[in-house]
Amino acid sequence: MDPDCIFCKIVQGEIPATVVFKDQQVTAFRDLNPQAPLHVLVVPNRHVANTEALVPEDDALVGSLVRGARQVARQAGVAEGGYRLVFNTGADAGNTVPHLHLHVLGGRRLGWPPG
């Protein structure tokens, strides 16, 4: 854990958040600035800065993030209609918190291109 990381503090329960899913690998909570009716962040329970910091030993962790996102979509009732999964890496992508996180967006028709 990174003691200065806001997402690490959410995972540890030090900062309140609306947690919608949690298991041994990942925690999912509602985004404070939602861009869709469903906007949840799925984060690893251990600190990983971003996709550039991933190593081959993290392959199972990435799978856990995606399966956690699928669970969130199913719980929210958007799995059948569709949902979007987004990783942002770096400032140009709009990443503002240096802790790997997967956005789960759904609940309305999402446009393309996204940005």
Catalytic residue flag (residue 47): no
Q: What is the token pair recorded at 36?
A: 């869709």
Least Cα distance to 99 among 24, 27, 19 occurs for 27
Under 8 Å between Cβ of 104 and 72: yes
Give me 25's structure tokens. 């690998």
Q: Which of 47, 99, 101, 103 is catalytic?
A: 101
Residue pair 25/64 in contact by the 8 Å Cβ criterion: yes
Identity at 76, one-letter amino acid code: A
Catalytic center residues: 101
